[in-house]
Amino acid sequence: MGHEQGALSAHDDPREILGVEVDASEEQIRAAYLRKVKEFPPERKPAEFERIRDAYEILRDPHRRIAHLLFSIDPSAPLASLVERRPAAREFVGPEPWMAAIREK
Amino acid sequence: MLDPGADEVRRLIEKGNSKSAVEAAKALHKRYNNPVSEALLVEAYAARTASLREHHMTAEADALVRMVRERYPSASSKLATAMPVSVLREVSLENLVRPLNDPALDREERARIEEALSKRLDDPSALANCTALSAGHPLRTCAADLERALHAVTRGPVLKDQVALPAVSRRSPLAPWKSLVRAIASFYEHDDDSCQRYLDAIDPASPPARVVPALRALLKGCPDATLKPAARRLFSQVGGGVETLRGALESLDRAFASDRKGIIISEIGNAVRACSQAAPDLLERLKQHISIQAIQADLDEARVNGAIGGSCLKNAYFWLLFARSVEGPQGEGSVEACSLWEQFRVHAVHEGWFPAKGPEVAGLYLHMASLLEMIPPEEGEDARQEFRSFPGYAAYYDDQPREIRRALGFHNPADKYYLDPERLYEKACALDPRPEAFMGWMMWAHGDGTEDKNWKKSDRVAEAWRRALPSDPRPLLTLMRTAESRNAYQKALGFVEEAERLDPLDPEVRRARLKLLIGSAIRHLKTRKPRLAERELAVLDTLPQAEEGSRRVLISVLRWACSRMNRDDAWAAQHLADASALVGSEATACLLSGGMAFLCGLEPEEHQLPDKLPLGPQELLATVIARACAIGADVGIHFSIPDDFAEDVQRELEQQGGKLDVAQLRALAAAAAKRDQHELIYAVSAAGLARGGTGEARFLLIRAQAIPPWETKRRNDCIAAAAELARRNRDMELVREAVELRREAGSFLFDMLSGLAPDRESLGEHELNAILKRERAAKKFVKSAPPSLPPWLEEFDEDEDDDELDDEDAEFDDGQLDFFLEELAQAVQSGGKKKKKRYGRNSPF
């Protein structure tokens, strides 16, 4: 996929921006969009909002959605990329590991 | 009281004679041995250490400080003034902070001690428990608060009050700790922006800053290779098993790259185990990706299934991956890919990814058709025939759950419609009748099959288009063109009239009647019926669109041809003069007239054109030809340039290319492309690129046409750069042309030999600029020889193909009127003179 919209670069994945799965239905895409807009309202986070809006514009249009679906998944990509942007768990581990990192000069 | 010796000691200190001051103070202390004498001695030592430091005798000063501290514990505060912060950081915490108990401590000294404290305190509990400070000292109580807060934020969610820490001010030596506590709290609250702000506020020289890289990496969710071991452990522990999984997947990637099957199988097992623990929701997807990569690596299916704990689900996602994995950039694997896309379609519809009869499925059909189009025509039918006996994918479903197998309920594996581009286009256009889809179908119809049957295919597409989109004039124009090519003039006229009724303002529609009338006039002249041609010209005169551009020039030239055929010299001269005046160039008018003479079958003795091309004093042959080409192309007459002219034109372009505008350069490139005059095309691209500006995308594409096919990388670079620039200029027509050229370039035999460049969808700024810079600088065409073929491929290098191409060039293109200036030059030549003389700059004819 080439340049889709002004705020998105060629390598941005609109599904990732909206946080929806590859098989998300129209309703799921819309719900995810509304959720994200609440999180990043245009008056407070204009740049992020623009990316979210552009991602939604791609996914709401069935022609662009199918084009994206056909070309965005690379089966030969490194398997590690499956967890590339997976958020860390943010587990509570107590003060010791933190203090150990602080004590390490 | 001390005797006057004390005054002497102070005087010596003030004079800077610290060594004598120490000796005098020692003597006094020996005599009195009381706190006052001790204080004076320590004061003298402080001056001495300061003096030693001034003379860069740091080691001696530090040794002296240690000795005095051991001997006289009361000396700490006084000595502090003499020690830089770096030395203070090495002093024990107790000794460092003890002076802070003194409410009368000098402000400057207090600041220095606090600065040293902030740079060395790596555990707030040490300060909280430091007995050198009084129990209620604010630093101790703040440190205790911080210790509690740190424990709280790292053990579970906290309330805002728990991390408020109001007693720790921004100026406090404990401020970095307060920022860290708040950063950690924000991190666990997923308030990443606040977390970043607090991290930014931490003094980089303070111990809490050591945890900042790990915390930033956790925010990004990406490991940082520069993390120290403890920080890396922190990253892994807080990040959970995802980091372990990441490591396992990286190992598996390396194993696949090594192509060592035993290691791959072992690493697959590790990765699947790590995934089931850290990200069970990802497990099925991972198994599907592994299965596809294993198929590509030709691994034993049973062993892979054993390692991943049973075969993966063969649902829509699996087939999507499978189909993508077999798509080759040059059409290899296209037939298999289409069959796999069909599997994907069936499952995706079943799983509710999209409706069975919606635009998504239409888009999929168009993609499948485009894949089949990538197969070289001579191989396409064989590949399809071979695949018709393929038994299908039933074996993949043996161990699949009922829900997956149920998707196949309505699927008819015997219907291999997906191997037929026309059926795919037909189905796509029926599901989602959009002009873009019909245009794709029409392009396929134009490019497929033999010439005499093309019009039937084109008509079939146009009729379907017309039925689906009755207000679109474009199918009518196609029908007009095919009718005209069959000499069904009245029928063609009928289509034009219908198109005009639908959209009289469409430029192509307005041009259509003009083209039709000009084509008809030429046909009458060819059959030596000038009166009928004049009738068409009379109608042309009434068309407002005939006044646009340089169309009047061509009409005058047609009138000249009629007059010549009628042997009316006076009118012929008048029409030629009219054409010259209209175009502002006698040479251009003569070239056009000569071409028309050739086209209409006028013999040299009939047309009586001048022997020499009457170029004006400042006129370039390149400009004259470019204008003639542009005038012809406007009404569907496409010129080519004789090879003998090409050399002169090329030389002019190299020396004076800047004199031609973009439209003229494009016209020249189009004409040169008709005869594969690569050196001339290259010269056009060089002249165009030298102009800079937004036209560079077009000239990069022209450059790509000029580069020999065996220079695959450079040619693909130019195409990719042209497409990228066109995208930025929103010139989607040029993007489409670039994609088409890439597709055509892909079929070249040498791609197989020289290694295929990967498909390029977009270029980065740096790469794009590098290509532009390189191509702008490469002004000269450098001839290169194609790589020699290995013996096993020589049989493909057939001369027959070239002959066929030559034959095709001699015909009218796609039913359009086409003629060659080479023949034109022969036509205007009055006979008996050699080509060299005719075409030379000094003797054009």
pLDDT digits (tens, 9 = 90+) for B24-43: 999 999 888 888 888 889 88
A80 touching B (Cβ < 8 Å): yes
Question: What is the β-pairing status of strands B818-820 and B638-640?
Answer: parallel
| Cross-chain Cβ contact A97/B238 below 8 Å | yes
Question: Per-residue pLDDT tens for B101-149?
Answer: 888 887 877 888 888 899 889 999 999 999 889 888 999 999 999 999 9
Torsion angle in degrees (nearest 10) through CA of B744, B746, B748, B751: 160
Task: Give me the tens of pLDDT residue by residue for chain A, a chain 105 residues long.
Answer: 333 344 565 456 788 889 888 778 888 999 999 999 998 999 888 888 988 998 998 888 888 888 888 877 889 889 998 887 666 678 888 999 999 999 988
Report the alpha-carbon distance of residue B703 to residue B672 in Å, rounded: 12
Considering only alpha carbons, which residue of chain B is nearest residue A98?
B234
Full DSSP string of B60-89:
HHHHHHHHHHHH-GGGHHHHHTTS-HHHHT
The per-residue b/e assignment along B410-428, b for 16 or more CB within 10 angstroms, e otherwise, is ebeeeebebbbbbebbbbb
| Cross-chain Cβ contact A101/B359 below 8 Å | no
Question: Per-residue pLDDT tens for B411-461?
Answer: 777 788 998 889 999 999 999 999 989 998 988 887 754 444 568 888 999
| Cross-chain Cβ contact A69/B239 below 8 Å | no
Q: What is the rounded average pLDDT of the residues B642-669? A: 87
A88 touching B (Cβ < 8 Å): yes
Report the alpha-carbon distance of residue B320 to residue B342 in Å, rounded: 10
* Interface list for A 12-31 with B (CB within 8 A): 22-23, 25
Query: Is residue B78's pLDDT more than 60?
Result: yes
Percent of chain B with pLDDT over 90: 44
Residue B593 CB neighbours (<10 A): 28
How much is the pLDDT for B688? 93
Query: Is residue B378's pLDDT more than 80?
Result: no
Residue pair B350/B410 in contact (Cβ under 8 Å)? The answer is no
Residue pair B697/B763 in contact (Cβ under 8 Å)? The answer is no
Least trusted range by pLDDT, from B337-341, B582-586, B701-705, B803-807: B803-807
Residues of A within 8 A of B218 (CB-CB) are 88, 90
How much is the pLDDT for B76? 64
SS3 B698: helix
Residues of B within 8 A of A66 (CB-CB) are 354, 359-360, 363-364
pTM of this prediction? 0.62
How much is the pLDDT for B804? 37
Considering only alpha carbons, which residue of chain A is nearest residue B193?
A45
Burial class (CB in 10 A: 0-12, 13-18, 19+), B834: exposed
A44 touching B (Cβ < 8 Å): no
Residue pair B628/B592 in contact (Cβ under 8 Å)? The answer is yes
Task: Please tell me which residue, B561 or B327, carries the higher pLDDT value.
Answer: B561
ipTM of the complex: 0.77
B316 touching A (Cβ < 8 Å): yes
Report the alpha-carbon distance of residue B682 to residue B711 in Å, rounded: 14
Residues of A within 8 A of B123 (CB-CB) are 99, 102-103
Residue of B26, B30, B24, B1 lying closest to B12 (CA atoms) = B24
How much is the pLDDT for B309? 93
Which residues, other chains included, contact B369 with Cβ-Cβ below 8 Å and sequence gap of 6+? Answer: B421, B424, B425, B428, B440, B441, B444
* Interface list for B 357-386 with A (CB within 8 A): 358-360, 363-364, 367
How much is the pLDDT for A3? 36
